[in-house]
Structure formats: C-alpha cells, structure tokens
Structure 1
Amino acid sequence: MTRIISEGARRQSHAPDRPEGVNYPDRGATRRRPLPDGYHHLHHRVLIGRGRAAFETAGAAVTTFRLHRATGMRVRAEHGAVRPGGRVEVGIGFGPLRIDAPCEVIWTAYEPARVGFAYGTLDGHPECGEEAFLVELAADGSVWFSVTAFSRPAAWYTRLAGPLVPVLQRGYARLLGRGLRALVARG
C-alpha cells in the first residue's frame, strides 16, 4: 500500500491544540454549526426517494460504507457499521498513484428520522477536516441525503491542486447522491 505523506503533515501531527487523533482542531464541527472559518465548506443535499423503506435502505448503505464502495472507492473499516472512534481508510487510484486517506469516525446518528456519521481526517490524509454523510426522513415522507464538509489541504499535492480540490469534492458529493439514489431504487 502506497501512502503519500508530506513532511508538513508529519510535523503537523504534534500540534498541541488538536484533539487526539485527528489532524485538525475543530473535531465535531459538522454536527454543530456554523462550520469553522479557514476551511473550504461543502454543502450538498439531494432527494433520493420516498418512504420508510427508502430511508432504511439509504441509512444502511451509508453507515456500512456500501455507498462509498458502490462509487468505486476502496474502504477498509474496523467495524461493519460506523461507530465513534472507529478507524476507516478510504482509497482511490491504482498502484503507485493510489492515495489512501485515513479517517476516524467522529460521531454517528442512528435516530428514527436521521441516520449517518461524520469522519475526520488523520495524519497521512491529503486534506484536514471533517465530512458528514446524513440520510433524513422528512415529515412528508421524502428522503434526503446530504454531505457537509470542511477541509483544507494537508499535503503538498493538494496544496498544488489548489482550486481543483473543492471542484473534485463537489463532484464526489454529487456522485454519492446519484449512487445512493440508485441503491435505493434497487432496494
């Protein structure tokens, strides 16, 4: 497994103002609002279906990483379903161009009308920040999927990519929404 880790990311791992584990100081900020300053913010919300069955299918796909895998990401997780403190590694690419992005599950929601989680970046991730994936069942029966994130570059190559990174992140959030809609339609 190849990991691309910059010297800056290694030095950053000893910052005293960061919560243990994650490589940024704003742990849990996707659960509370507003998102912290100094990061790129992402908010994407899409209708994926209607009814309790759609909600349950979508919630299971999100919290077991089935959705991430369905979009072509390689996921290695400590547990079958997300739980706070669980470690996850999401990988994309092939051979020497593979990027593995280590994360930790920060919070989960297993509620009657809201299911999902957020993970935060760990040292070795090309970004630093947090991303939340939520499925919500509205009072009218509509089922919504949202991705909320804040991030900034943590590696030389994401700094070099500059404004391209947020465009790729938005594209990935849209891909997740389309993928979840397809998984729900299949049941």
Structure 2
Amino acid sequence: MRRGNFRDDTVDYAAVGATQAADLMHYPPERSIPAEQSWRIGSGEARFRGAADALLSWTAQRGAGLDLKDVRPASGPMYSGVSFDSEGHPIAPSRSESDLRYDADGTPYVGAGTTVHVDGRVRGLRADAELRVIFAIEEPRRIGFALGTVGDSVVSGEESFMLDWYENDEVWFTVRAFDTPKALLYRVFPGLVRRRRRELFTRYLRAISPLYTTPA
C-alpha cells in the first residue's frame, strides 16, 4: 500500500484536497464551480489493474488531447501513509522514499509532489497549465490522485481521479473537480467553464475505458 500527500504553498488556490470532501457538490470552495462524474468501467482484478496502470501513467491526460511537458517528480523524501478516516480526521503519516516508476517513453509515473506542464485545447478553449500532484493513493482496491493548479491556467482549482474495485467486483472510475475562473472570458461567461469541464470528463473516461458503460 502506498499513499502520499504533498502540500506546497506554490499552488494558486487555498482549498487543497477539497476534491475529497464528501459535500463538494453542495459546498464547493468559494467562487468555484464543482463537477463530479462516476462511471462503471468493468469488473474484476484485471480490469482494475489495467485501468490503474493507465491512470498512473498519465493516460487520462494524454487521451484528453493534452501534451505533457517537463514532468518533474518531487525531490527528497515524501510523506507516505497520509489519509483521513470516515469522519475526516487525519491519520498520522510515516516517512519513506517514493519509488519512481517510468513508462515506455521514460516519463515518470504519477507521484505525490510531481509537477507537470500540460498544453492543449478543449473544443477550441485553451487548457494550458502547470499542475502539481497534491496526493496519490495506491491501495489494493483503490488507486488515484489529485492535480492542483500552480499557474498559467485559465482556471484555478483541483481535479481528482479515482479508481475503486468494489467487493461486488465492479470497477468504477470517478473524476471530481472544482474550477475558479481566472481568464476574463471565463469570468464573464462561466458556462464556458462547465462546457470545458464536461468535455474533459468525457475525454478522460474514453482514455481510461474506450468501451465504457452507461454513466451513473
């Protein structure tokens, strides 16, 4: 089991980790627009492991049409074991070194504290940003991570990507996010933020599960 959290003052929003709040959709961070979607993408351990490897090797972002540049793992030791119980109370971490893994192209896998710059467009709308992995979770039946904006983005906020392999053998993929408009166009037309987010969610899903089932 591996868990990692990374808190750094260089992210450009205050509510770090808020994509894990149970009431995100009802009480999002101030001035932000929340979004959440879950899909059943299959069943069984093989489906879970395959989707997990794809997720941790940035397949969702690449499949969304985003180019990854300057992927930089955090330097030095990272916190491992950080988590929260069912009532939201923190569980004390232990300290260990993160094991770095790389895909066939030599790009480091997702890890807590990793910084990445993405470039791309979503239906003609700019999607460039510098992002940081706020936390990463690798458990026997749950794998995922969250990305927070550092800068150079039309919105600020966070998005999380989680895979769950439930006791009934179903595998579910959940993406949650909150976006605060930064660019003038998005502040004037917040509907563009929702449009951009819906398109990103669809692209993420298709990247992780090309033969996805009906959304929940």
Counterpart-to-counterpart distance in 2, 1:150 and 1:99: 15
Question: Hey, what does 1:23 align to over in structure 2?
Answer: 12
Question: When you count strand as a share of all residues, which structure comes out higher?
Answer: 2
Check whether the contact 1:44–1:174 (CA below 8 A) recurs between aligned residues.
no
Structure 1 outlier segments of 4+, above 6 Å: none
Please state how far the C-alpha of 1:99 moved relative to its aligned partner: 4.6
Question: Hey, what does 1:120 align to over in structure 2?
Answer: 148
SS of the residue corresponding to residue 122 of structure 1 reads: strand
Please state how far the C-alpha of 1:178 moved relative to its aligned partner: 2.3
Please state how far the C-alpha of 1:148 moved relative to its aligned partner: 0.4
Question: Hey, what does 1:78 align to over in structure 2?
Answer: 72
Counterpart-to-counterpart distance in 2, 1:99 and 1:141: 35
Question: Hey, what does 1:45 align to over in structure 2?
Answer: 38
Q: Supply the AA of the counterpart residue of 2:29.
A: D
Check whether the contact 2:179–2:193 (CA below 8 A) recurs between aligned residues.
no
Q: Deviations over 1:26-70 (max 9, x none)?
A: 011112333333211111001111110110111111111022212
Counterpart-to-counterpart distance in 2, 1:70 and 1:19: 28
Task: Out of 154-163 and 55-64, give the one that drifted further.
Answer: 154-163
Question: Hey, what does 1:6 align to over in structure 2?
Answer: none
Counterpart-to-counterpart distance in 2, 1:118 and 1:129: 10
Check whether the contact 2:63–2:206 (CA below 8 A) recurs between aligned residues.
no
Question: Hey, what does 2:197 align to over in structure 1?
Answer: 169
SS of the residue corresponding to residue 62 of structure 2 reads: helix
Question: Hey, what does 1:65 align to over in structure 2?
Answer: 58
Counterpart-to-counterpart distance in 2, 1:161 and 1:87: 29
Q: Deviations over 1:110-157 (max 9, x none)?
A: 011111100101121211111001111011111110100111112223
Change over 3 Å in CA distance of 1:98–1:148 after alignment to 2: closer
Q: Which runs of 5+ in 1 are unaligned?
A: 1-17
Match of 1:100 among 105, 117, 128: 128
Change over 3 Å in CA distance of 1:23–1:163 after alignment to 2: same
Counterpart-to-counterpart distance in 2, 1:183 and 1:149: 23
RMSD over equivalenced CA pairs, Å: 2.3
Please state how far the C-alpha of 1:98 moved relative to its aligned partner: 5.9
Aligned residue pairs total 165
Question: Hey, what does 2:166 align to over in structure 1?
Answer: 138
Task: Out of 27-36 and 149-158, give the one that drifted further.
Answer: 27-36
**Normalising to structure 1: TM-score of the pair?**
0.80
Please state how far the C-alpha of 1:183 moved relative to its aligned partner: 7.9
Q: Which runs of 5+ in 2 are unaligned?
A: 1-6, 74-107
Question: When you count helix as a share of all residues, which structure comes out higher?
Answer: 1
Q: Supply the AA of the counterpart residue of 1:180.
A: I
